Structure 1
Amino acid sequence: MLSAEQAKALHDPEGDGCWNPKVCYNRRSHARHRDRRNQARNRQRQTTVLEELAIDISEFTDVWTAILVVYRPAGTDTPVHAIAAQIWQGQQQVAVVQPIHCMGLVPSQVHAYVRKLLALLDEHYGIRKFASQERFDPELCPIRPCIHHPMSER
């Protein structure tokens, strides 16, 4: 914050003796302009455009997949609230199996329903197993009326 003359007087050989003209001018300039340089660097980082790489996915457009959608609370042994399915061809969703409530069904009945669902998918689309399973909270159950949405009954 001192001027160059004040810094020299304080740090020259009559002062504490640390003034070195080869280094100190650059250090002082750097300290004076630090905010401006940091601001320019930040602007540069923000305006840097990332390169987008395109991958040819045309060979995957004919791939049929099914996703089992299960509405159940988090945990390992929680009861299944509802079951649905989504059918995809490539990146496009082409069909949906509407959810059904599983309240009152024992696990063997839930498994029997899933087997029926897979038989239907095999018959229509040649899908023999689910590609993945998505778990959603029962609060997101779209079926009305639902025990988790008592206001929707009115």
Structure 2
Amino acid sequence: MLDAAQARVLHGAEGDGCWNSKVCYSRRSYARHRDRKNQQRNRQRQEVIIELLPDKIEVFQALYYAVLVVYREAGAESIVHAISAQVWQGQIMVALVPPIHCVGMVPSQIHRYVKKLLELLENKYGICKFAAQERLDPQLCSIRPCIHHQDAIHAAL
């Protein structure tokens, strides 16, 4: 915030003695113009990304990939409520494996189901593993009747 003469007095021989003419001028200039230079760098990076995207994106439009959707509450120890899968080709969803309830299944049974699901996806689409796993809250489960929805509880009574 000080000009160079004031900074030299404060940090020079009469002050704390840390002033070094070889580096302090450039450091002060960098500090004064840091925001503007960073903004220019960010703009240049964004322009490069925008120019590269149109050429490369067409290659990915033909790729198939699958996303495993797991309905479970947040937390490492929570049980799996239901499992579903989505198959995508580029930006378009081409298939949806409907969810199944996993309540009552032991973990080995869930793993076995996921392996069979992957075998099916590999035979049909050439997908050998899931690209991503998405966790959804059990309240979003679309299966009816479901223990997480009041209509199922009232229907049983």
User: Which runs of structure 1 show a deviation greater than 3 angstroms over 4 or more consecutive aligned residues?
Assistant: none
State how far apart, in whole Å, the 2-side matches of 1:100 and 1:140 are.
13
Q: TM-score, normalised by structure 2?
A: 0.63
Q: What RMSD, in angstroms, separates the aligned Cα atoms of the two structures? A: 1.9
- The corresponding residue for 1:22 is none
State how far apart, in whole Å, the 1-side matches of 2:127 and 2:146 are.
30
Q: Which has the larger radius of gyration?
A: 1
3-state SS of paired residue (1:66): strand
- The corresponding residue for 1:112 is 112
Mark the runs of 5 or more structure 2 residues left unpaired by the alignment: 1-46
3-state SS of paired residue (1:65): strand
3-state SS of paired residue (2:80): coil
Q: What is the Cα deviation at residue 150 of structure 1?
A: 2.4
Structure ranking higher in helix proportion: 2
3-state SS of paired residue (2:129): coil
3-state SS of paired residue (2:78): coil
Q: What is the Cα deviation at residue 77 of structure 1?
A: 1.4
State how far apart, in whole Å, the 2-side matches of 1:108 and 1:77 are.
15
* 1:44-103 per-position Cα deviation (integer Å, ceiling 9, x unaligned): xxxxxxx9x462211111111000000000000110000000000011100000000001
Identity %: 59
Q: TM-score, normalised by structure 1?
A: 0.64
* 1:79-134 per-position Cα deviation (integer Å, ceiling 9, x unaligned): 00000000000111000000000010000000000000000000000000000000
